[in-house]
Amino acid sequence: MTDGEINEVVTKVLRSRLNQFGFARSNVHSELDFDGSPIIRVIARYEKQDRVPSDKLVDSLEDIRSELIQRGEERFVFLDNEYPGEAEEEEEELE
């Protein structure tokens, strides 16, 4: 799957699970982990300062992973969160 296709799945799941915590948008990037294995890095950005409880994050990550597996995507997903006031990473445009 492309990063754009993955981001559609991620956004759908995070909107349904984390909207009450101020979920605004997500960014998805394909990367290699420390040992060279392909992974999916998701950065969830929020409009509220309220931190999302860890059980809600775990449930969201499980839903994302299940949905992606059903679509044939086998890479592991890492979910990072960014709240207002935290420095945003420079985003690269995907072609």
pLDDT beyond 90 at 77: yes
**The pLDDT of residue 85:** 83
Q: What is the pLDDT of residues 27-58, one digit of tens each?
A: 999 999 999 999 999 999 999 988 999 999 99
CB proximity list for 31: less than 8 A, separation 6 or greater: 38, 39, 40, 41
pLDDT beyond 70 at 11: yes
pTM: 0.84
**The pLDDT of residue 50:** 84
Q: Please tell me which residue, 90 or 78, carries the higher pLDDT value.
A: 78
Mean pLDDT, the chain, as a whole number?
91
Q: Please tell me which residue, 94 or 28, carries the higher pLDDT value.
A: 28
Task: Using DSSP bridges, classify how beta strands 23-32 and 38-46 pair: parallel, antiparallel or unpaired.
Answer: antiparallel
- For residues 64 and 50, is the Cβ–Cβ distance under 8 A? no
User: What whole-number distance in Å separates Cα of residue 42 and Cα of residue 83?
Assistant: 14
